[in-house]
Amino acid sequence: MPEPRESRAGQPPTLRDVAERAEVSAMTASRVLRNDPRVLPATRDRVRAAAAALGYRPNEVARSLRLGRGTGLVGLVVTNLANPFYSRLALGVDSVVAADGLKTVIGNTGQDLDGERDLVADLVARRVDGIIAVPAGSDHRHLAAAADGGVPVVLASRPPEGFDADCVLVDDFGGAREATARLLSRGHRRIGFLGSPPAVHTGTERLRGYTAAHADAGLPADASLVRQGQTEPAAAEHAATQLLALPDPPTALFCSNNRNTIGAFRAVRATGTDTALAGFDDFELADALGLPLTLVDYDSDELGRTAGRLLVERIRERRGEDERQTEGVAAYRRVVMPTGLVEYGS
């Protein structure tokens, strides 16, 4: 019996190795592994035993490409895997695409635009069936290039800039406006703002909502109480500590995401003040922090599921499996997730 390729060259066994071990042709071995009912039971058992003995696994990606079906992979590009929001987003995406036989590949950019460009280029080179992206900034030319190259692209949490694509957004402006208005209704007149980098759409919209709530109340928003650029709790804690050390410190803080809220909580605890907190994104253990906390809540899992559904529809459309479109490409969709407030503490 011929020696299997794996032991000869240290390479994974091939279909030819399986065929040689089972003493059949490569075509017969392929038919068995594709569950062709025309193969005799004895031959089928012999081929499957040979495949099991060699540890052979079919290269489904190569096979799909030969059949013109793509790789069966979708890329999910996010900015910060340490943020629980992205894990919920990923679970939502995967629950939808997996039902369509697709697998999710997650890439983290760390808010670095150059890293995002490289990651998107790599996903395109690997011939993914589609990409869901949370862009790091407002330069989306690399995503536009991917879409122009025939790769369906869906954006999550940020709208497309300079090109057309489906997107799923959160009501960032409305949620921030409502949470800030809640603080103002409780008598707070100096409210600090802790936010994401100015280039991030969500941070910009949430700052706009914070400012609008002040205008609604007939109050100016004090620019000296605004701190932007924090992406991790440590930086947010430092920024909050600075605000709380002002001669006339804010009596409340609004935080544009959960990372800033956690940092602000640490600063409030460390300084021993009774500063009120409000923030965007609910998070685990928020109810156990032991201080009044108002959070803007929305269904991040559903955001991911919606992005996944939009992408699957585009992939089917590209394969010619979606007959709903009437003239060319179906209209691009923009879905906005609603928000609500949750209250913790007294």
Tens digits of residue pLDDT in 26-56:
888 888 887 888 889 999 999 899 988 988 8
| 3-state SS, residue 74 | strand
**Would you place residue 67 in the very low, low, confident or very high pLDDT band (cuts 50, 70, 90)?**
very low
pLDDT at 66 over 70: no
Phi, psi angles (nearest 5°) of residue 253 = -130, 135
pLDDT of residue 70 exceeding 80: no
According to the model, what pLDDT value does residue 298 have? 96
pTM for this prediction: 0.77
Same domain, 150 and 178: no
CATH at 46: 1.10.260.40
pLDDT at 346: 67
Instruction: Let me know if residue 63 belongs to a domain.
Output: no
Q: How far apart are CA 197 and CA 201, in angstroms?
A: 9
d(CA 209, CA 3): 70
Per-residue pLDDT at 10: 59
| 215 assigned to some structural domain | yes
Residue 276 has pLDDT above 80, yes or no: yes
Residues with Cβ within 8 Å of residue 74, at least 6 apart in sequence: 93, 97, 102, 103, 104, 105, 128, 129, 130, 131, 132, 311, 315
**Computed from CA positions of residues 19, 25, 29, 32, in that sequence, does the dihedral angle turn out positive or negative?**
negative
Q: Coil, helix or strand for 245?
A: coil
**Position 16 confidence tier, pLDDT thresholds 50, 70, 90:** confident
**Residue 2 pLDDT more than 60?**
no
Residue 229 CB contacts under 8 Å (≥ 6 apart), including other chains: 195, 196, 197, 198, 235
Answer for the pair 32, 47: CB distance below 8 angstroms, yes or no: yes
For 328, the token pair is: 């060319």
6 confidence band (pLDDT: 50, 70, 90)? very low
Residue 327 has pLDDT above 90, yes or no: no
Q: For the residues 210-239, what does the mean pLDDT come to?
A: 96
Q: What is the pLDDT of residue 62?
A: 52
In this structure, the answer to whether residues 179 and 165 fall within a common structural domain is no
Q: Do residues 179 and 293 both lie within one domain?
A: yes
- Spatial separation of the C-alpha atoms in residues 321 and 292, rounded to whole Å: 52
Residue-wise over 219-240: b if at least 16 C-beta within 10 A, else e? Answer: eebeeebbbbebbebebbbebb
In a domain, 128, yes or no: yes
Q: Is residue 178 located within the same domain as residue 247?
A: yes
Residue 345 lies in a domain: no
State in Å, rounded, how far the first CA of the chain is from the last one.
78
**Would you state the pLDDT for residue 60?**
52
293 and 225 housed in the same domain: yes
Q: Give percent of the chain with pLDDT exceeding 70.
A: 91
258 and 146: one domain?
Answer: no
Same domain? For 129 and 212 the reply is no
31 and 87: one domain?
no
Q: What CATH number does the domain containing 318 carry?
A: 3.40.50.2300
pLDDT surpasses 80 at 138? yes
Residues 160 and 307 in one domain: yes
Report the pLDDT value the prediction gives residue 193, as an integer from 0 to 100: 98
Residue 64: inside a domain: no
CA dist 252 and 249 (Å) reads 9
The total domain count for the chain is 3
Q: Is 320 helix (H, G, I), strand (E, B) or coil?
A: coil
Structure tokens at 213: 């709530």
**Whole-angstrom distance, CA of residue 284 vs CA of residue 83:** 12
- The answer to whether position 342 is within a domain reads no
Q: Which residue has the tokens 């009774």?
A: 274
pLDDT score recorded for residue 321: 58
pLDDT band at 289 (very low <50, low <70, confident <90, very high): confident
Q: What is the largest CA-CA distance in the chain?
A: 88
Q: Which residues, other chains included, contact 112 with Cβ-Cβ below 8 Å and sequence gap of 6+?
A: 136
Is the domain of 198 the same as that of 290? yes
| Mean local confidence (pLDDT), 135-160 | 94
Average pLDDT, the chain: 89
- Residue 118 inside a domain? The answer is yes
Contact 39, 31 (CB under 8 A): yes
> Do 293 and 177 sit in the same domain of this protein?
yes
115 three-class SS: helix
Q: Is the pLDDT of residue 302 over 70?
A: yes
Which of the pair, 93 or 56, is modelled with greater confidence? 93
List the domain range (segments joined by +) for residue 9: 5-58
The reply to whether 136 and 245 lie within a common domain is no
